[in-house]
Amino acid sequence: MRQSGSPMNHSFGPRRPSFDLASALARDWHGGSAFRTAWFNALSMMLPHGERFFIDSVNEFRDKIEDPQLKSEVQAFLMQEANHMHQHQAVNKLLCEVRGYDMQAIEGPILKRAEWTQKRLPAIRRLAGTAANEHLTAVLVADMFRHQDSFIDADPDVAELWYWHGVEEIEHKSVAFDVYKAVGGTLKERRMVQIFGTIFFLSGTLRIVGLMLKHDGKLWSLREWLDGFRFLLVKPGVLRRAFIPYFRFLKKDFHPWEDDDRYLIDEWEAKRQPQ
Ligand SMILES: [Fe+2]
Ligand SMILES: [Fe+2]
């Protein structure tokens, strides 16, 4: 029986790009905006922990998958996420070195929360959380590719890190969801976990933005916060635009590939081919 909900012939695997970001990360690389720079830097700080969580959650159920297609997608998912984790760990280490951020202060609460979820939540709930977060990620990156306005004025090399990561998030967007379904995950739990997962994710990211702005002496800059508010919720409104697609996850018959956005992957691949 087919347990994978991916389009037929959809296949993917990890790419191995390398990035040289030391000089960009030392600056407010997002168009000189302290908030926008801190927003993406904070997301980068969250990612390796999220990805560790996603890898472990899916790994726990991989032996229960029978469909060879989904089995190979799980393998590719694990490789892509492990690669993302390592790239962002390297970026984060560099970022803290060049800007003087306190890695321990940033990571401490994330590690505590990770320990708590590992101990207290059943494996199936952690898997539901992974499926929900993968949906949030897929929605945000699809928006980023469609509108091409998330990195206007940003350093192109840092932007490329996000585009590379984003493309692979689209490619594997249904893996955790399909595994969750295949092992008997329920609609009720999926719905409940989405809201909590998003609250944790957004509050965790904003906490780190606050720490970074404080370190940079911009925590009380009304201008920076207004700029951030505008970027996230008004123009371009990268969070606002994701609002409706985000809630599609609550539908009974939802599937991540109901929005077949593989053309975004093709467009990105075509652009990076050597001329
Ligand atoms: Fe990832
Ligand atoms: Fe992912």
pLDDT one-digit tens code per residue, 156-181: 999 999 999 999 999 999 999 999 99
Q: What is the pLDDT of residue 108?
A: 97
80 CA to middle of ligand 1, Å? 7
Q: How far is the CA of 232 from the centre of ligand 2 (A)?
A: 21
Residues measured by CB to lie within 5 Å of ligand 1, the ion: 81, 84
Q: Say how many Å lie between the CA of residue 134 and the centre of ligand 2.
A: 5
Question: Is the pTM here over 0.85, yes or no?
Answer: yes
Q: Has residue 273 got a pLDDT over 80?
A: no
User: What is the 265 CA–ligand 2 centroid distance (Å)?
Assistant: 15
CA of 79 from ligand 1 middle (Å) equals 10
Ligand 1: centre distance to CA 221 (Å): 32
- Phi and psi for 154 in degrees, rounded to 5? -90, 160
Domains (ranges, CATH) in the chain? 22-272 (1.10.620)
Find out whether 248 and 165 touch, Cβ atoms under 8 Å.
no
> In the predicted model, is pLDDT for residue 275 greater than 50?
no
What is the C-alpha separation between 39 and 209, in angstroms, rounded? 6
| DSSP line for 215-252 | HTT-TT-HHHHHHHHIIIIISS-TTGGGHHHHHGGGST
Please give the mean pLDDT across all residues of the chain.
96
DSSP helix/strand/coil, 183: coil
Read off the pLDDT of residues 81-138 as tens digits, 9 standing for 90 and up.
999 999 999 999 999 999 999 999 999 999 999 999 999 999 999 999 999 999 999 9
Backbone angles phi, psi at 30, to 5 degrees: -95, 80
CA of 81 to the centre of ligand 2 (A): 6
- Cα 78 to averaged position of ligand 2 atoms, centre (Å): 9
pLDDT classification of 274: cutoffs 50, 70, 90: low
CA 170 / ligand 1 centre spacing (Å):
10
Tell me the average pLDDT across 245-273: 95
For residue 272, pLDDT beyond 90? no
Q: Is the peptide bond before 17 cis (omega within 30 degrees of 0)?
A: no
175-197 residue pLDDT tens: 999 999 999 999 999 999 999 99
> SS3 for 30?
strand
The pLDDT confidence band at residue 1, using thresholds 50, 70 and 90, is confident
